[in-house]
Structures are given as structure tokens and as C-alpha cells.
Amino acid sequence: MNYQRIHDQIIERAKTRKLKGYRERHHINPRCLGGTDDLDNLVELTAREHFIIHKLLCEIYPNNNKLIYAYWMMCNMKSNTQNRSYLISSHEYERARLLFSYMHSNRIITSDTREKLRLARLGKTINMPNGPYTHTTEAREKIRNSKLGKKRGPLSEDQKTKMSLKLKGRKLSDDHKKKISEARKRKTNL
């Protein structure tokens, strides 16, 4: 199948028409591929066309993580400003999820990146492409706590009430009840 040809046909049709009602703006040449925000690089698409275009872009550029991420976000993100009315099939969702998982599992973190992350955790200023960056004290504390496996503080009464209401009326399988019982026994034996 010629994905590029289908992509180009949708874009060409979008250039010559005026949409009424809901529409989404799309970069003809994606910014991650060097596209700009100039008007001649933007078209208006229906929500369905926009989704299809991003699916096609993943087929045309299978190794571009930013395009895979955009496709994954279109499968999941809902907002007040976007009125997307398309439904994603379970097969389509699985395909997007697998692409997204594959992208993350094959991510290569260079030693330079590891060093920048380490310095940021320690509160040192690191040089980034868009200027120097330092984690805030609060961010460093969150990172430190998550890395060291520290427990968060005790739950407030409001949090306990919300959790209780959420769990009321929930039916547990016998297997699940058994696992909870075993976990409680292990906890008391510590």
C-alpha cells in the first residue's frame, strides 16, 4: 500500500476546501521533520482525517518517535478544546499501544544524557539546547523520594473517605480475596 500517496491525496484535498464546523489544524510537513508554523505548511482537517494522517505518518516514518507519540496521544487524549468524534477500535488501540511501547523499549539513553539526569537530580545546573536548566528544590525532592522508594505521608481523613467510597460495593473474586489475605498475613509477620 502506498501510504505516502494516500497522505498526499488527503492533504491536497484539504488545501482546496473550506471546512464548516469543527476542524483541526495540521502541519503538512511535521515540525519534528523540519516543518514550520507558516500558513503554507498548515491545513485544516476533520478529526477523522487528522487521525488517519497521523496513522499514515507512522507508517511512512516508522522510526520517528515523535510521530509515534503524536499518534498515541491522538488515541488517548481528550480535551475541552477538541471535539473528536471518532471511535478507535480495540485493534487500532492495541496497534498504537504496541508502537508506543516499542518506542520506549528501544530508547537509547546515552552516557551524556545519563550524566545530565544525574546532575539535575543533584541540583546542579546543566546546559540544555535551549539554555541552562536546574531542577527546583521541590522537583529534586520528588525525584529523590521516588528513587529511594520512600513512602508518602499519612493519608488525610478526606483521602480515606474518598478511597472508601470508591471501593464500596466492589465485588472481589475468591482468588483476589485470598491474595489480600495472604498479603495481610505477610505484613503482620514482619
pLDDT of residue 42: 93
Query: Minimal CA–CA distance to 42: which of 54, 58, 57, 31?
Result: 31
pLDDT of residue 108: 67
- DSSP letter at 34 equals T
**CA 6 – CA 73 distance, rounded (Å):** 22
pLDDT of residue 112: 77
**CA 187 – CA 179 distance, rounded (Å):** 12
pLDDT by residue for the chain (190 residues), tens digit each?
Answer: 899 999 999 999 999 999 888 888 999 999 999 999 899 999 999 888 998 999 999 999 988 888 988 888 888 876 666 666 667 888 888 888 888 887 777 666 777 777 777 777 676 666 666 666 666 777 767 766 665 555 566 778 888 888 888 888 888 888 888 888 888 877 666 5
**CA 31 – CA 64 distance, rounded (Å):** 12
pLDDT of residue 185: 79
**CA 52 – CA 62 distance, rounded (Å):** 15
Query: Minimal CA–CA distance to 14: which of 26, 2, 5?
Result: 26
